[in-house]
Copies of this chain bind each other. A is one copy, B any other.
Amino acid sequence: MKGELRRQQILDSALRLFAEKGYYETHIDDIIRDLRIGRGTVYQYFANKDDIFFQLLEDYYHRWKQVVAISDEERKINDPVAYLRMRIRRTLAFFAGEREFTRIYLRIAPGINKDIEPLIERIETMVTDVVRQDLELARRFNHLRDDIDISGAANLLIGALHRTAYYDFIQTETDADIGVTAENFVRVFTAGIFK
């Protein structure tokens, strides 16, 4: 139990530092100085530096998964277009609410190294799949424009979403209105891909 606390402290500190300085420029030293703990303590909870990063990304992904999940209640609506809109709004809110994580996910993690790349690609694939499934459902309900390629649209949507989030919430200091950003975003896509 107490150990779990320490583990979390290390993750919290690493999160902040990775987000701020990047993976390679964050050193174990920075973390232990930040937390005022012993060097070895870090290695009692994590196998190595990579491992800390992995945990951070995994946690982040699972949190996102929960956030965008359609509840049983909501599923009664049975409107895939509504689902996708909800997921977009929630994802944007999630990105805005977890800026450090998001900065890591969108900027730091891609292209770090051969060990971390597979994880980030696995996550990206899973995220894309969620969107793709919504789009496929929409097509079955005949809500999708006929000339839309689902995979292409999914990537397009996610790319747009990431960049929007990054520029509106992460890079910019000023707090953009999430609601407005989300509505603008949804509006364009509604017009672009739905009938």
Number of copies of this chain that the complex holds? 4
User: Min CB distance, A39 to chain B, in Å?
Assistant: 11
A81 CB within 8 Å of chain B: no
User: Min CB distance, A108 to chain B, in Å?
Assistant: 4
Question: Are the C-beta atoms of A110 and B113 separated by less than 8 Å?
Answer: no
- A window 1-55: CB within 8 A of B: 21-25
A56 CB within 8 Å of chain B: no
A147 CB within 8 Å of chain B: yes
Interface 0/1 of A166-182, CB less than 8 Å to B: 11100100000000010
Chain B residues lying within 8 Å of A109, measured Cβ to Cβ, are 111
Contact of A188 among B25, B167, B193 (CB under 8 A): B193
Question: Are the C-beta atoms of A181 and B152 separated by less than 8 Å?
Answer: yes
A99 CB within 8 Å of chain B: no
Question: Are the C-beta atoms of B153 and A163 separated by less than 8 Å?
Answer: no
A159 CB within 8 Å of chain B: yes
Question: Are the C-beta atoms of A21 and B114 separated by less than 8 Å?
Answer: yes
User: Min CB distance, A186 to chain B, in Å?
Assistant: 11
A67 CB within 8 Å of chain B: no
Chain B residues lying within 8 Å of A187, measured Cβ to Cβ, are 147
- The 9 nearest A-B residue pairs measured at CB: A159-B163, A192-B192, A107-B111, A108-B111, A156-B160, A160-B160, A159-B159, A159-B160, A188-B192
Given contacts A107-B110, A156-B188, A160-B160, 20 further A-B contacts (CB under 8 A): A21-B114, A25-B113, A108-B111, A110-B111, A148-B184, A148-B188, A152-B168, A153-B188, A155-B160, A155-B164, A155-B168, A156-B163, A156-B185, A157-B160, A158-B163, A159-B159, A188-B193, A189-B192, A191-B191, A191-B192
